[in-house]
Homo-oligomer: A and B are copies of this chain.
Amino acid sequence: MSDLPVLPSFLVADAVRAALKEDLGRAGDITSNATIPMGARATAEIAARKPGVLAGLALAERAFREVDSAVRFTATRADGDALAPGDVVAELEGPARAILAGERVALNFLCHLSGVATATRALVARVAHTRARICDTRKTLPGLRAFEKYAVRCGGGSNHRFGLDDAVLIKDNHIAVAGGVGTAIAAARAFAGHLVKIEVEVDTLDQLREAIACGPDAVLLDNMSPDELREAVGVIGGRAIAEASGNVTLETVAAIAEAGVDMISSGWITHSAPSLDLGLDVTMT
């Protein structure tokens, strides 16, 4: 896997520090303080216990370094790599107390983000024979959006908008108040900056025909059957990006993709992706 974006380092630093504060609290790791001598050193490996896709190494590394900059963290795999059980993804060496104190925060990031990447990859694999790309939504876990969207890319997916502010997505309520899809698109075109794209959500082919006539950049075809989607793609005729959403599962995604859409968006890959099991094994030295 290559061509991944770079997570802004201050986002990583802020999130990792907040997580460490959450875990170390006011008194720190009292178990290690009580039982592990100050000077004790350890080596450790982080390894996959289940198959999946790796994501989040930068956050894991940062967790240990924030506890103690003396911990050496050597990644042996890269974000986006497919993992088999037993695959070692990173080796650590340093003060034993710091490795133990940073372990849970590092793994909590790594297991969740790898879970997101793994779920994404599973959908991506089902549509590899089509032109469709899998993308995420704004249905992310609060505080973790930038990292989850990064993990989606690690899984081979693409990103939908990052927030309410970087693209227009017109839904039924907006259309109702604006007085029609044409009026809504025109209002958005007038309001938004020239580098902002405009997408319109439609539920029916009639809505789609009305929308497409107004020149949106993309249309969101919500909860349509594969047959409806196929017809919708024909209606669109390449004049806008065709995005399908709703009822996207491992079972349904191939048929959706085969309908000819450009993008398939899934909330499941971020809000419900099961954690990927990775563990840390320590050797005291």
Instruction: Given A111-B271, A170-B35, A177-B40, decide whether A28 and B6 contact each other with a Cβ distance below 8 A.
Output: yes
Instruction: Given A31-B168, A66-B10, A194-B135, decide whether A162 and B25 contact each other with a Cβ distance below 8 A.
Output: yes
Most chain B Cβ neighbours within 10 Å, of A30, A108, A178, A267: A30
Nearest CB of chain B from residue A13's CB, rounded to whole Å? 9
For the residues of A in contact with B, the DSSP-based class is mixed
Convert A270-285 into 0s and 1s, putting 1 for each residue whose CB lies closer than 8 angstroms to a CB of B: 0110110000001010
Q: Are B177 and A28 within 8 A (Cβ)? A: no
Nearest CB of chain B from residue A37's CB, rounded to whole Å? 7
Q: Are B275 and A177 within 8 A (Cβ)? A: no
**B residues in contact with A165, CB < 8 Å:** 24-30, 162, 166
**B residues in contact with A243, CB < 8 Å:** 194
The CA of A162 and the CA of B108, in the complex, are separated in Å by 14
The CA of A33 and the CA of B16, in the complex, are separated in Å by 23
A23 partner, pick from B68, B97, B163, B217, beta carbons under 8 A: B163
Which A residues between 214 and 229 are near B, CB-CB below 8 angstroms?
A: 217-218
Q: Are B139 and A142 within 8 A (Cβ)? A: no
The CA of A29 and the CA of B100, in the complex, are separated in Å by 29
Q: Are B194 and A164 within 8 A (Cβ)? A: no
A47 interface residue (CB < 8 Å to B): no
Of A82-90, A120-128, A184-192, A231-239, the one touching chain B: A184-192
**B residues in contact with A23, CB < 8 Å:** 138, 145, 163-164
The CA of A5 and the CA of B188, in the complex, are separated in Å by 12
Q: Are A30 and B194 within 8 A (Cβ)? A: no
A213 interface residue (CB < 8 Å to B): no
The CA of A25 and the CA of B272, in the complex, are separated in Å by 24
Nearest CB of chain B from residue A247's CB, rounded to whole Å? 12
A176 interface residue (CB < 8 Å to B): yes
The CA of A34 and the CA of B2, in the complex, are separated in Å by 11
Convert A177-207 into 0s and 1s, putting 1 for each residue whose CB lies closer than 8 angstroms to a CB of B: 1100000100110111111110100000000
Most chain B Cβ neighbours within 10 Å, of A17, A149, A165: A165
**B residues in contact with A142, CB < 8 Å:** 15-16, 18-19, 22, 105, 108-109, 112, 143-144
Instruction: Given A97-B6, A159-B193, A218-B195, decide whether A272 and B271 contact each other with a Cβ distance below 8 A.
Output: no
Known: A37-B177, A143-B143, A160-B193. 19 other contacts (CB 8 A): A6-B97, A8-B25, A9-B66, A10-B66, A11-B21, A25-B163, A26-B145, A26-B163, A26-B165, A27-B159, A27-B166, A34-B192, A40-B177, A105-B142, A111-B139, A167-B195, A194-B241, A195-B199, A271-B274
